[in-house]
Structure formats: structure tokens, C-alpha cells
Structure 1
Amino acid sequence: MPMTATDIEAMIVAAIPDAAVEITDLAGDGDHYAARVTAASFAGMPRVKQHQAVYSALGGRMGGVLHALQLTTAVPG
């Protein structure tokens, strides 16, 4: 069963409490999402580390329950 946008957002916020998360269902199929994650805690982190933090928050669901996630990360301001 695919993950919902609400599930994805909740998992990210649980692991990165200061994150503002915007989820878009790209195909309308509940399998292909885009996420924009903005967090002050990303300050000073290389983009690859920011992405790793988000993927870690999803607990290994990438490529399985969560088929595709187009990820953008940023620091506020």
C-alpha cells in the first residue's frame, strides 16, 4: 500500500522537528511525490547531508513503500 502525503510529512517532521514540509503528488497515484523540506537545522550542512537526513527520516521506505520522491531541501530565508 502506498504512503500518503500526510504520512510522509509526519515522518519527516518527527525526525526533523523544525522542518516545514510541502508535499505534492506528482502523478495522482499516491506513488510519485515531490517534497520541499525547509529547516533551520540544515544550516551549514551540505545538500547531500540534508537529503540523507530526510531519507533517514523515512526509515528505509524509499524504493519500497515509497516508490519515488523528488526532493528539494533548503534553509529558511
Structure 2
Amino acid sequence: MAMESSEIERLIKAGIPDARIDLTDLVGDKDHWAATVTSSEFVGKTKLQQHQIVYKALGAQLGGPLHALQLTTQAPE
């Protein structure tokens, strides 16, 4: 089962409204994605906390339709 980039963006933005998201389909199967997520919500948080915020936004989709996610998070400069 694959997941479209628009759906990944929708889920992340639902949980992190100010998120800027850059997605790349790593192998062309829409199951393995790389995402860079930038949000002011990440200011003052550790990388682990930042990733947990994104994982929470993705919910049950991660590990299901979204098989793998290479995640990079950052606060705006």
C-alpha cells in the first residue's frame, strides 16, 4: 500500500500547522519517503522531541501505508 505526498503533507500540517515540508520519494514506490520538516514548534526542542511531534502527526500511517520515513527536522533560521 502506497501513500501520496499530498496525504503525508496534509497529515503533518494537521498536527503542525506552520510546517514547511519537503518530500522526496526515495525509490519511486511511494512507500519510502524522505521528509524535511521545518517548524517554529521545534524551537528549543531536542531532535528526538521534534521527531516525536512529526510521528504523532502521522499517527497510524507510519509503519502502515507509509512504510519508511527518513526524517530531518529543524527550526526556522
Q: For the superposition of Structure 1 and Structure 2, which TM-score range results when normalised by the shorter chain?
A: over 0.9
Runs (5+) with no aligned partner, structure 2: none
Mapped to 2, the partners of 1:20 and 1:63 lie a distance apart of 22
Residue by residue, what CA displacement relative to the aligned partner does 1:22-42 show, whole Å, maximum 9, x if unpaired?
110000111110000000111
Mapped to 2, the partners of 1:27 and 1:53 lie a distance apart of 25
The answer as to 2:34 corresponding to 1:49 is no
Q: Residue 61 of structure 1: CA displacement?
A: 1.5
| Matched letter for residue 12 of structure 1 | I
Mapped to 2, the partners of 1:73 and 1:29 lie a distance apart of 23
TM-score between the two structures when normalised by the length of structure 2: 0.95
| Matched letter for residue 34 of structure 2 | A
Write out aligned runs for 1:1-77 (5 A): 1-77=1-77
Mapped to 2, the partners of 1:62 and 1:45 lie a distance apart of 22
TM-score between the two structures when normalised by the length of structure 1: 0.95
Runs (5+) with no aligned partner, structure 1: none
Identity %: 55
Deviating 4+ runs (over 4 angstroms): none
Q: Residue 15 of structure 1: CA displacement?
A: 0.6
Q: What value does the CA root-mean-square deviation take over the aligned residues?
A: 0.7
- Per residue, is there more helix in 1 or in 2? 2
**Count of aligned pairs between the two proteins:** 77
Q: Residue 62 of structure 1: CA displacement?
A: 1.3
